[in-house]
Structure 1
Amino acid sequence: MGIDVRKLDDAAATTELPKLGVLAGGGALPRRLIAAARAQGREVFVIAFHGQTDTATAEAAPSLWTHLGHAGEALERLRGEKVEELVLAGPIRRPSLLKLRLDARAAKFVAQVGRRAFGDDGLLGAVVRALEEEEGFRVIAVQDILGDLLIAAGVYGRHRPDAQADADIARGLEIVQALGRLDVGQAAVVQQGLVLGVEAIEGTDALLRRAAELRRDGPGGVLIKTAKPGQETRVDLPTIGLETVERAKSAGLRGLAVQAGATLVVERQGVVAACDEAALFLIGLDLDHRQ
């Protein structure tokens, strides 16, 4: 008995991908993800957070505006929309517990986590576990949909780090890996061996603004950005974009050094072109084979 290949092809063509829920932070990344998911044939529903999500993101797909602390409302709506997979995309500014307006579900989560999640990675890892183990969703990574955003090892554009920049990168890697082990931050700025600043809760943009005020004379510094050791790679991977390049230029930096295979570059062609114009190098670091 033969197999009707045409029927198999027809069945594959009509197979629907699970509906995707996007928990959207700020910036352009959530909109890029929505467009890519739709290009794959996915239905998309967006949870937009007051004071965090761009209006343009909420307008890019059916959405619900809610507060960070209103977990019950968001979860109920996601189930009502028959969402099966969730993705967290875009930066979220972490407010204090007093400003979160916790509902009953969010308060229960905070009580369960207690003091186990001091830093962003610990907290986000706890969020992922709760969404999967308690709420029944599958959490996927931004790179599962936008795999081309992950930077590979190598130098991008016309400019390359010299010996001083290489030394600053090496120093910066020591710093950010120590920060990462403590779940503090993902980035540092080093100039001529001096640490101008490290990233904590304020984020990379604020770090670059601070570095601009502290810069020294002579060759400019380097922004070094890596994932934290053992990081939950489905959420909060290091990300750079055009705004990062502009702030690095304003801070008088010479280049950006980010972890290959673990850093998202939004609008890569534009980022490389902007680095070229600003005389900044951009390098993806292969940490597994770095001496």
Structure 2
Amino acid sequence: MPAPTDSSNGGCVGILAGGGPLPGQVAAAVAAQGRPVFIIAFQDFAEPAVVEPWPHAYVRLAAAGTILAELRAHGCGDIVLIGPVRRPSFRDLRPDAEGAKILARLGRALFSGDDGLLGALVRILGEEGFTVRGAHEFLSQSLGAVGSLGRISPNEADRADIARGVEVVRTLGKLDIGQGCVVQQGVVLAVEAMEGTDAMLARAGTCRQPGEGGVLVKLCKPGQERRADMPTIGPRTIEGASQAGLKGIAFEAGGTLFTDQAACVAAADAAGLFLFGVDATASPCDGL
């Protein structure tokens, strides 16, 4: 069985692609570096319009033998895991022989939160001879910066809600539960779990309190495996926050990927929402 290509020679980058536009953006960034790319498109998750302009193969999520064989056949040394994938039930996994072995190697991580599972997967891919890279290593221009991105900035009450949200999300993150919450006037309207940000925003809209305010806060979990699951914001996030009646979105600066930062800023400005980058290295109230 051939070994993966050494990433130091600029070999092929393998992209394990879930949904959304980011797999295609990573592929374009890799190609711009003059490196070949090959996409493993997870069936029922990856979007054909995103992956099909690039060399690719559609593979079931649990067909680990096929995934590893395809990566090795195309000389992939570096691997990027990008795009949302819903965790399937054991009944729906249907692993191949290699997949069953990897499930056994994952062990207790299968029953932990997403970050524990993804961290174990990154470790196993390393043991198989691959180097897992973070999408942000190729998409540095898509990372939000500290402060307001658009023309609207949070006021004093909004900053208090942001500080409260940072405390809540950090606590959630320590338990490997979620990356976001919605706070209005100090009241936590909703926290993110396995349903994702869009569903959380819809739920938060039904819980709004009388009066103004309302902030979505998204952060990396403490000690999160950033090579596999960074927080992501796209135009649909802006739309969901607006429909929920929120004032804006606070995100971890340098730790949040924007699927289209210019479109997000334009949509936020049009909706009257702020987009505010928080320095996660500071205490919850510093810099707000």
TM-score band by shorter chain is: over 0.9
> Displacement of 1:231 after TM fit?
0.9
What amino acid sits opposite 1:213 in the alignment?
Answer: T
- For residue 149 of structure 2, the aligned residue among 156, 160, 171 is 156
Which residue pairs with 1:23 in the alignment? 16
Which residue pairs with 2:69 in the alignment? 76
> Displacement of 1:263 after TM fit?
0.9
Is the aligned partner of 1:178 residue 2:174? no
Partners in 1 of 2:21 and 2:214 — Cα distance?
27
Which residue pairs with 1:121 in the alignment? 115
Which residue pairs with 1:5 in the alignment? none
Partners in 1 of 2:123 and 2:48 — Cα distance?
29
Which residue pairs with 1:242 in the alignment? 235
Partners in 1 of 2:46 and 2:183 — Cα distance?
31
Partners in 2 of 1:287 and 1:83 — Cα distance?
34
Partners in 2 of 1:30 and 1:194 — Cα distance?
36
> Displacement of 1:287 after TM fit?
2.2
What amino acid sits opposite 1:156 in the alignment?
Answer: L
- Contact 2:173–2:220 (Cα < 8 Å) also in 1: yes
- Contact 2:201–2:241 (Cα < 8 Å) also in 1: yes
- For residue 111 of structure 1, the aligned residue among 99, 104, 127 is 104
- Contact 1:21–1:78 (Cα < 8 Å) also in 2: yes
Is the aligned partner of 1:193 residue 2:161? no
Partners in 2 of 1:37 and 1:242 — Cα distance?
24
Partners in 1 of 2:132 and 2:120 — Cα distance?
12
Which residue pairs with 2:222 in the alignment? 229
My pick for the range that moved more, 43-52 or 211-220, is 211-220
Larger Rg: 1
Partners in 2 of 1:35 and 1:181 — Cα distance?
34
Partners in 1 of 2:268 and 2:29 — Cα distance?
25
Identity of paired residues, percent?
51
Partners in 1 of 2:104 and 2:260 — Cα distance?
39
> Displacement of 1:217 after TM fit?
2.4
- Contact 2:160–2:186 (Cα < 8 Å) also in 1: yes
Which residue pairs with 2:85 in the alignment? 92
Q: What's the Cα RMSD here?
A: 1.4
- Contact 1:153–1:285 (Cα < 8 Å) also in 2: yes
Which residue pairs with 1:130 in the alignment? 124
What amino acid sits opposite 1:58 in the alignment?
Answer: V
My pick for the range that moved more, 112-121 or 43-52, is 112-121
Which residue pairs with 1:287 in the alignment? 280
For residues 75-114 of structure 1, give each alpha carbon's deviation from its aligned partner in whole angstroms, at most 9, with x where no partner exists: 1111111111100111111111221111222222222222
Partners in 2 of 1:266 and 1:172 — Cα distance?
23
TM alignment of 1:47-58, pairs within 5 A: 47-58=40-51
Q: How many residues align?
A: 276
- Contact 2:157–2:213 (Cα < 8 Å) also in 1: no
What amino acid sits opposite 1:239 in the alignment?
Answer: T
Partners in 2 of 1:289 and 1:267 — Cα distance?
27
My pick for the range that moved more, 190-199 or 106-115, is 106-115
> Displacement of 1:16 after TM fit?
5.9
For residues 136-174 of structure 1, give each alpha carbon's deviation from its aligned partner in whole angstroms, at most 9, with x where no partner exists: 111111111111111121111111111221111111111
Q: What is the TM-score of this pair, normalised by structure 2?
A: 0.92
Q: Which runs of 4+ in 1 moved over 6 A?
A: none
For residues 19-75 of structure 1, give each alpha carbon's deviation from its aligned partner in whole angstroms, at most 9, with x where no partner exists: 011100111111111111111111111101111110112312111111111111111
For residues 241-266 of structure 1, give each alpha carbon's deviation from its aligned partner in whole angstroms, at most 9, with x where no partner exists: 11111111111111000011111122
Which residue pairs with 1:6 in the alignment? none
Which residue pairs with 1:167 in the alignment? 160
For residues 105-145 of structure 1, give each alpha carbon's deviation from its aligned partner in whole angstroms, at most 9, with x where no partner exists: 22222222222350111101111111111x11111111111
